[in-house]
Amino acid sequence: MNGSPYTLSCRSTECQARCGEVATLHGIVRTPVFMPVGTLGTVKAMTPENLIEVGAQIILGNTYHLYIRPGHELIRSFGGLHQFMHWQGPILTDSGGFQIFSLQDLAKITEEGAAFRSHIDGARLFLSPEDAIAVQEALGSDIMMVLDTCIPYPATREQAAKATALTARWARRCREAQTGIGQHLFGIVQGGMYPDMRLEAIQQLVDIGFDGYALGGLSVGEPKELMYEMLEAAAPHLPVTHARYLMGVGTPEDLVEGVFHGVDMFDCVMPTRNARNGMLFTSQGRLVIKNACYQQDQRPLDETCGCYTCRHYSRAYLRHLFQNREILAYQLNSIHNLHYYCTLMAGMRSAIQADRFLAFRRNFYEHRTN
């Protein structure tokens, strides 16, 4: 790939926050951006039309899960993941490294790759860096991720160093395996909770040369303060000319702090998972819809929100649906939460363009009651 698909359009004069665009085969992504997670080729409880309405620009698929079921060759036969799932916007596919890491006892990591057993039927499977690229190319995603070795928390310096070095070697193999058909490939920075190791990992990836750079191995159980410390230590050292992606993070507060530190892209299952568990995000903070105080509440979830759910339904009705485990509850709650996340990102983009991000950040925290 020649050059970077990322174009920087403006920067805050007050902090590291910045706006830009990532050019992909399926359109331009305006950053900073939140990417809804569609692990199995679907963002749970959401139609593609719902996603467009809430303001989603780009979504995620997962190499590990789609490799196991229904299989990348089947998806290729449909013309790729976009056609298979009826989503014509950009798609980023995670390489499966985190999922293999989370399998723990079912996986064995070697120099060659990851040998693991399927979480579905126990079948023996193997995924090498080359396989991870081949699968993602079959899926036809706009942005592919290198196969990495995620580091648990806590980890000794020796454990972190060994895994980080393996990630760098795998990253090079991924880059060499890419066939160059227009898909972007992002490198993943590991390094555990060791700032110097993070900086060394960044340099190794930059030397290989990628289309974007991600910070991995955060939000894996470490205290929030330590995550922010690693973010502050690493993010400013990622190339200014390339997109910066903070993987698997996080809460609305995490997004604001990530943008403050210069991150462009985020993903997390939290808005959809919390929606299915009855926790809604609002401009005032979190709202647990099952609480009895909402039984007769005629107000929308958030009186400042313009999403489909808030335009048409009361808290009382949404509580009724959730208490009875009606499927519609999960859809309406998911629409609201993802609209909240996408609107939050749009607000941050506007604040950066107006060079008032610190005022936006201050206002964000002042209005939250929990």
Task: Name residue 62's beta-bridge partners.
Answer: 94
CA distances from 60 to 6, 35, 90, 358 (A): 18, 7, 9, 29
Catalytic residue from among 142, 267, 297, 355: 267
267 catalytic? Reply is: yes
Superfamily of domain 6-101+130-268: Queuine tRNA-ribosyltransferase-like (3.20.20.105)
Q: What are phi and psi of 314, to 5 degrees?
A: -90, 160
Rounded to the nearest 10 degrees, the angle between the axes of helix 195-208 and helix 224-234 is 40
Burial of 306: CB neighbours in 10 Å, binned 0-12, 13-18, 19+: exposed
Two tokens, residue 258: 């990530």
94 catalytic? Reply is: yes
Cα first-last separation, the chain: 45
Q: Is 42 helix (H, G, I), strand (E, B) or coil?
A: coil
Catalytic residue from among 94, 142, 264, 302: 94
Q: How do the pLDDT tens digits run along the chain, 370 residues long? A: 458 999 999 999 999 999 999 999 999 999 999 999 999 999 999 999 999 999 999 999 999 999 999 999 999 999 999 999 999 999 999 998 888 888 777 789 999 999 988 889 999 999 999 999 999 999 999 999 999 999 999 999 999 999 999 999 999 999 999 998 899 999 999 999 999 999 999 999 999 999 999 999 999 999 999 999 999 999 999 999 999 999 999 999 999 999 999 999 999 999 999 999 999 999 999 999 999 999 999 999 999 999 999 999 999 999 999 999 999 999 999 999 999 999 999 999 999 999 999 999 999 999 888 8
Domains of the chain, residue spans: 6-101+130-268, 270-358
Task: Name residue 220's beta-bridge partners.
Answer: none
| Sign of the dihedral defined by the CA atoms of residues 40, 130, 180, 216, in that order | positive
Q: Judge if pTM exceeds 0.95.
A: yes
